[in-house]
Amino acid sequence: MHAFQYDKIQKIGRHLSFRDYLRQNPEICKKYGELISKLADQYPTDIDGYGDGKDEFVRKIEEEALKWHWTIH
């Protein structure tokens, strides 16, 4: 779950595009799930390590998701 400040529309849009892209791409969604499970095991009490571990993957997929979003809308 995410909570956003009401005036952060762009950030909300990025998250929704990411979510929708994962829903449309089950293989990428599976890889993401595997990554976050591995990171949760590796960093059970280190939220920064967990976040840093998924950062590169999320940025790459977010970029793809935004391109995808604008091609369908």
Residue 45 in tokens: 């009490």
Torsional sign, CA 43, 47, 52, 53: positive
8 A C-beta contact, residue 14 and residue 68:
no
What pLDDT is stored for residue 57 in this prediction? 97
pLDDT digits (tens, 9 = 90+) for 27-68: 999 999 999 999 999 999 999 999 999 999 999 999 999 999
Q: What are the residue boundaries of the structural domains of the chain, listed by start? A: 19-72
More confident residue, 11 or 43: 43
What pLDDT is stored for residue 2 in this prediction? 67
d(CA 54, CA 48): 10
8 A C-beta contact, residue 65 and residue 17:
yes
